[in-house]
Structure 1
Amino acid sequence: MYPVQAFNVQGMPCGHCIRGLTTAIHAEASKADVHIDPATGRLEVRTTLKAAQVIALVREEGYQAESAMKSGHFSQTDSVQSILIVRENENTS
């Protein structure tokens, strides 16, 4: 399993937007695990794609995005959760 990558996305107000972005990501990485919270604009992806590839896909769909780590909106709790998820998955593999 791959670590969670988090992004801040602007301008995704509805379910149609979420479906479009999810479809775009799945077109490039069919097994990607995609979670989007339209209220906060937070996109979390577990995928083989690199962060730059995910951001490019978001932009192709017409939205602005940046890594949550780069923007400073990636909290220490997020980091710890990501580490725990990776370690948990390593132990089950």
Structure 2
Amino acid sequence: MPTTTYPVTGMTCGHCVTAVTTEVAAIPGVTDVNVDLAAGTVTFSATEPVDRETVRAAVDEAGYELGAAS
């Protein structure tokens, strides 16, 4: 499964990590989510393609901003 990493701005604590993890994990097809607070990134694997806008909406719902994919 391909993995995708995006920067996320605004995360400062463990609650931030939990919020982003929960919202991204709820995206259909997403099978694994890793949020790195120190790096300010979210990395996930999915069984089907997930477009940037879907990820942006999930991160926005958590209260943070999504940067460009790396």
Shorter-normalised TM-score: what interval? Answer: 0.7 to 0.9
Question: Which SS does the other structure have where 1:32 is aligned?
Answer: strand
Kindly state the Cα deviation for residue 12 of structure 1 after the two structures are TM-superposed.
0.9
Tell me how far apart the structure 2 counterparts of residues 64 and 33 of structure 1 sit (CA, whole Å): 20
Question: Which SS does the other structure have where 1:57 is aligned?
Answer: helix
Tell me how far apart the structure 2 counterparts of residues 44 and 15 of structure 1 sit (CA, whole Å): 16
**2:65 aligned with 1:64:** yes
Task: Work out which structure has the larger RCO, using CA pairs closer than 8 Å and 6 or more positions apart in sequence.
Answer: 2
Larger Rg: 1
Q: Could you tell me whether the CA contact under 8 Å between 1:6 and 1:42 is conserved in 2?
A: yes
Question: Which SS does the other structure have where 1:34 is aligned?
Answer: strand
Query: Partner letter of residue 20 of structure 1?
Result: A
Greater strand content: 2
Unaligned runs of 5+ in 2: none
Moved more, 40-49 or 30-39: 30-39
Aligned to 2:55: 54
Normalised to the residue count of structure 1, the TM-score between the two structures is 0.62
Tell me how far apart the structure 2 counterparts of residues 5 and 53 of structure 1 sit (CA, whole Å): 13
